[in-house]
């Protein structure tokens, strides 16, 4: 099912690679992060090439709810607890700079950018909201507590941050991608010491950036343990009351709401990929109860890489891989995270210092509670007697009845009923019969 964004834009097309090439920096992956990296490198005068296995923005970027905000749930209290206040402050600054850069870029681009206030609400109580507000005040964020919201269900209040943004992500991409050095329909088949072998030729590169959503190299970085994937769902409703702002529940199982023109974009029903969850049925029930006269215009689903500690992995792929970089684990907040990645990686490949390098370092500690959960899921998937099995690392695939796909709960690869690859980290189709 195509998202609303795909239905309302025509993206530029690029030729597939058909010869050997040489470049200073190779970017693998043509989503928001990869394209912003390409744009940043071009602006810096760095020779680069971006290769995409299919069409640009055919994955998560085309299925986002496209909120551009520094407010990523109740992240700042968590960062202050697990790290320190300075880490929370740097995370805020990095994302504020990303928001400012989007705002500046969107001024001259027809991408329907709108400033909106952002709200994280709670339905269970205000204790967690108070903790978040306390940390936000200490790190210099302009946030406030709102007692009542216009949402069609009871809340205990919300944390509000003003003048954030929302936009049409693919209209934005269509405007900025023109003139970039991109090869579509070019699959990376093998990583070599001096570059990569692709389906269309060999690319020699001094530096490589992996921006493929879930990193595809298993022998470095332990991303198969540091990441899991989370699936969530969106309904576009016409005739529903539109919120004055962007809303998200502080609870992972809650709802996300924003407007687009005269449509309400209602998100939620999420679950770990390969596990049971509310899906579209949960959203349909809420829509029937709260907006009985609303009409569904469009529906789609998306998939997000989730890290152990709530912060993305952006930087050197692993401690043992100089010249190889990664951007992954955006934890449902891919817009500002993509811009942070572009600026940080543009500096790193040029050997320049960046104040956020250590904050987002992929080599930071793995000793988090989520690691044990990921290991448990991997063990269960590997030991399960069920077939078929995922070609990525051999975990059992489970049938997703809502989306008619075979999904892996270990690492999130997905395949349609004919075995065609839908979502990575698997790199090819799966024979199911």
Q: What is the pLDDT of residue 41?
A: 98
Same domain, 217 and 333: yes
Determine, yes or no, domain membership for 215.
Answer: yes
Q: Which domain holds residue 298?
A: 228-304
CATH number at residue 374: 2.102.10.10
User: Same domain, yes or no, for 27 and 55?
Assistant: yes
Q: Is 237 found in the same domain as 284?
A: yes
Co-location of 398 and 292 in the same domain: no
Provide the whole-model pTM. 0.96
Question: Are both 296 and 242 inside the same structural domain?
Answer: yes
Q: Are 195 and 313 within one domain?
A: yes
Domain stops at, among 304, 322, 337: 304
Q: What integer pLDDT is reported at residue 253 of this predicted model?
A: 82
What confidence category does residue 304 fall into, taking pLDDT thresholds of 50, 70 and 90? very high
> Which domain CATH number covers 206?
3.50.50.60
Q: Of 320, 349, 378, which one is at a domain's C-terminal end?
A: 349
In angstroms, rounded to a whole number, what is the distance separating the alpha carbons of residues 372 and 145?
A: 35
Quote the pLDDT of residue 433. Answer: 66
When divided into structural domains, the chain yields a total of: 3
| Pair (290, 237) in one structural domain | yes
Decide if 79 is inside a domain.
Answer: no
Query: Is the model's pLDDT at 168 over the cut of 70?
Result: yes
Tell me, yes or no, whether 59 and 41 share the same domain: yes
Claim to verify: residue 233 and residue 300 sit in the same structural domain: yes
- One domain for residues 17 and 41: yes
Q: Residue 341 falls within a domain, yes or no?
A: yes
203 within domain boundaries: yes
Does position 135 have pLDDT exceeding 80, yes or no?
Answer: yes
The top-scoring range by mean pLDDT among 82-96, 264-278, 364-378 is 82-96
State mean pLDDT over 266-293. Answer: 93
**Same domain flag for 298 and 243:** yes
**Domain at 279, CATH number:** 3.30.70
In a domain, 154, yes or no: no
Measured in residues, the chain has a length of 433
Q: Does residue 197 sit within a domain?
A: yes
**Residue 155, phi then psi, degrees to nearest 5:** -130, 160
* 81 inside domain: no
- 175/207 same-domain check: yes
């Amino acid at each position: 099912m195509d998202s609303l964004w795909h239905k309302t834009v025509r993206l530029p097309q690029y030729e597939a690679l058909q010869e050997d090439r040489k470049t200073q920096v190779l970017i693998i992956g043509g989503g928001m992060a990869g394209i912003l990296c390409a744009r940043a490198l071009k602006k810096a005068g760095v020779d680069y090439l971006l290769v995409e296995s299919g069409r640009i923005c055919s994955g998560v970027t085309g299925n986002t709810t496209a909120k551009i905000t520094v407010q990523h749930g109740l992240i700042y209290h968590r960062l202050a607890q697990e790290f320190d206040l300075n880490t929370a402050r740097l995370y805020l600054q990095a994302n504020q700079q990303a928001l400012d850069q989007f705002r500046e870029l969107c001024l001259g681009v027809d991408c329907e950018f709108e400033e909106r206030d952002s709200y994280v609400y709670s339905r269970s109580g205000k204790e967690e909201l108070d903790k978040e507000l306390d940390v936000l005040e200490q790190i210099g964020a302009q946030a406030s507590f709102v007692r009542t919201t216009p949402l069609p269900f009871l809340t205990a209040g919300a944390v509000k941050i003003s003048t954030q943004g929302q936009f049409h992500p693919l209209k934005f991409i269509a405007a900025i991608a023109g003139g970039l050095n991109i090869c579509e329909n070019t699959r990376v088949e093998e990583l070599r010491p001096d570059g990569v072998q692709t389906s269309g030729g060999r690319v020699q590169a001094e530096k490589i950036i992996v921006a493929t959503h879930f990193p595809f190299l298993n022998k470095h970085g332990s991303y198969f343990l540091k990441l899991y994937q989370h699936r969530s769902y969106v309904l576009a409703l016409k005739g529903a009351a539109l919120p004055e702002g962007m809303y998200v529940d502080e609870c992972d199982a809650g709802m996300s709401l924003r407007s687009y023109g005269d449509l309400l974009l209602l998100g939620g029903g999420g679950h770990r990929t390969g596990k049971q969850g509310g899906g579209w049925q949960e959203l349909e029930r809420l829509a029937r109860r709260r907006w009985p006269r609303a009409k569904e215009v469009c529906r789609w689903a998306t998939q997000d890489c989730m890290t152990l500690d709530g912060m993305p992995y952006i930087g050197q792929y692993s401690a043992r891989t100089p010249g190889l970089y990664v951007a992954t684990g955006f934890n449902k907040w891919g817009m500002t995270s993509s811009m942070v990645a572009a600026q940080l990686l543009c500096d790193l490949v040029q050997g320049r210092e960046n104040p956020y390098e250590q904050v987002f370092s992929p080599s930071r500690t793995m000793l988090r509670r989520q690691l044990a959960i990921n290991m448990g899921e991997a063990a269960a998937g590997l030991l399960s007697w069920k077939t078929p099995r995922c070609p990525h690392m051999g975990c059992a695939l489970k049938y997703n009845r809502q989306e008619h796909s075979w999904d892996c709960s270990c690492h999130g690869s997905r395949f349609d009923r004919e075995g065609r690859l839908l979502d990575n980290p698997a790199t090819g189709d799966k024979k199911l019969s």
